Structure 1
């Protein structure tokens, strides 16, 4: 017991390592903040502070990091990155050209972003003739559901 009282820093170091190992499995940054507090306690103990002072410093450092550092870190980690739109999702809202006749009874083809797509009219009562400009309103599977873009005739 005399060794532990003479080498309190070793106890704090052991606690910091144990908390760090628990953090590796939990990944919620709580135990990392507690491990930081244990390192502060170890440092103060190694500098000769009494146990109660080291304990209070460890508690203070843990509380400060939990309250001040953890929330922005969690927000940054869980905030995600930029919104990613997968390949065909980018085509929604774009315009293309009808290549074949498209109606509610027959699936046609449109050229979108340089590729040929199967297409059906979004409104099944419409018929879209080849050469008309269309706008993609939805994509289901490999079929683009399109609507003709109104033209202003001079």
Structure 2
């Protein structure tokens, strides 16, 4: 029993490792937060704090991890990057006008090596052939573009 009193930090570390290993089976991040609390308990034991204080510090550390850290980790894990597919991935790309375009007379634009029918995003514009444009939107098979030179910072 005297060994246990002198090596209580080792008991806390065994508990932390056991909780960490059990976390690999559950993947809820709850047991991992409890393992961090056990590490706090081990540090308290190494500092020769009384057992009651070790338990309180371990519980406080675990509670803090569960309330402050775990929700943020869960939110980050559940919100991955958005995958843009189809023609929406062309929005923001630049292209070159191959046929002059206006609202009354749609033209053609070469975007990413493909020719698209296009109209100006601003109804009052006429964009000449050879102008560099940026794709603002795509509706159906028509790209709505705006000249790059006229974009204000």
TM-score category, normalised to shorter length: 0.5 to 0.7
- Shift of residue 42, structure 1, vs aligned partner: 0.7
Provide the C-alpha distance between the structure 1 equivalents of 2:25 and 2:115, rounded to a whole number of angstroms. Answer: 49
Distance in 2 separating the partners of 1:85 and 1:26: 32
CA distance in 1, matches of 2:110, 2:30: 50
**Alignment deviations for residues 84-114 of structure 1 (CA, whole Å, 9 cap, x no partner):** 312434358x9x99xxxxxxxxxxxx97633
Q: CA shift at 1:21, angstroms?
A: 1.1
Q: Could you say if the C-alpha distance between residues 68 and 91 of structure 1 is closer, same or farther in structure 2, counting changes exceeding 3 Å? A: closer
Distance 2:138 2:40 in 1: 60
2: CA distance between counterparts of 1:9 and 1:90? 55
Provide TM-score, normalisation by structure 2: 0.58
Q: Is there any run of 5+ residues in structure 1 with no aligned partner, and where?
A: 98-109, 118-134, 139-144, 147-154
C-alpha distance in 2, partners of 1:3/1:66?
A: 32
Match of 1:141 in 2: none
Deviation digits for residues 27-73 of structure 1 (CA, Å, limit 9, x no counterpart)? 33211211110011111112212211111110011001111122122
Deviation at 1:26, TM superposition (A): 2.7
Residues 91 and 112, structure 1, Cα contact 8 Å, conserved in 2:
no
Q: Residues 37 and 90 of structure 1: is their aligned pair in 2 closer, same or farther, counting only changes over 3 Å? A: same
* TM-score normalised by structure 1 residue count: 0.57
User: Gapped runs of 5+ residues in structure 2?
Assistant: 99-107, 117-136, 143-153
The residue number in structure 2 matching 1:85 is: 84
CA RMSD of aligned residues (A): 3.5
Q: Does the CA-based 8 Å contact 2:20-2:31 persist in structure 1? A: yes
8 Å Cα contact 1:23/1:30 also seen in 2: yes
